[in-house]
Chains A and B, each alone.
Chain A
C-alpha cells in the first residue's frame, strides 16, 4: 500500500517551459488536492477534485491546470512556467476529514 505517490521528486525548469507533475493514490479516495508550500506561507490550495471528471479551483489556481480522468490519478500541469512557481508541491488524497499527503515535488524555475 503505497498511499500517495508523486513524481518527480525534483525538477528544474526554464521559464516558459511546460511540465506535468504526476500524482497517484491507491486508497480509492474520491477526493484529491494539490497544494504548494512556500516559506512563511504554509500550504495553499491550488486545485482540488471530488471525483473523476470533477475539479475546482482553490486559493492560487492561476498558471496551473488539472484534470481527473480516473479515481487514482490527478496530474497538475504548468503550461508556461514562471519563477514565481518555484515551490514545493504536495498532492493529497482525502477521506472524510483526513488528508493523506505525498512526499512532494521540489520545483525550481530559472
Chain B
C-alpha cells in the first residue's frame, strides 16, 4: 500500500515553462512534507518542505502548494531550466521524523532547451 502517491511518473517541459508535480497522502499523522531532488548517480537532497499549517511556501523558483482537506500537495517549478532536469520525490513524515520518511514513487523531469 503506497501511503504517498505521486504523479506524473515522467514529465517533459520546455525551458522557461512551469513544471508541476502532484502528491497525495493518506495518513493524517504526517506532519511534514518535504520534496527531494535527485540527480543521476547521486543521493536525494532536500529541496523544499512545508508543514500543513500553511497553504503555500515559496523558495526562489520553487513553490509548494498544500491542501490539507484534500490531503494533497504539489511542487511548482517556475521558469524551468535544463539544470532542473532530475528526479523529484515528494515525501511525508511526522515532524522531526526524517529518520522514517515515506516517499512517493518519483517523477523524472526533463527540461528541453
Q: Which residues of A contact B (CB under 8 A)?
A: 4, 31-33, 35, 40-45, 48-50, 58-59, 90, 92, 94-99, 101-104
Contacts and interface: CB of A to CB of B under 8 A. Distances in A.
Given A103-B41, A103-B42, A42 B96 contact: no
17 contacts: A31-B99, A33-B99, A42-B89, A42-B105, A43-B89, A44-B103, A58-B100, A92-B98, A94-B99, A95-B98, A98-B34, A101-B43, A101-B44, A101-B45, A102-B43, A103-B42, A104-B41
A4 B99 CA distance: 14
A89 B69 CA distance: 35
Interface of B: 4, 6, 9, 32, 34, 41-46, 49, 89, 93, 95-106
A33 B46 contact: no
B32 to A, nearest CB: 5
A101 B37 CA distance: 11
A49 B38 CA distance: 23
Main DSSP-derived SS at the A contact region? strand
B49 A97 contact: yes
B101 A43 contact: yes
A94 B98 contact: yes
Contact of A97 (B9, B44, B95): B95
Contact of A98 (B43, B46, B102): B46
A48 B99 contact: yes
Contacts of B6: 42
Contacts of B44: 43, 90, 99, 101
A98 B98 contact: yes
B100 A33 contact: yes
Contacts of B45: 101
B103 A43 contact: yes
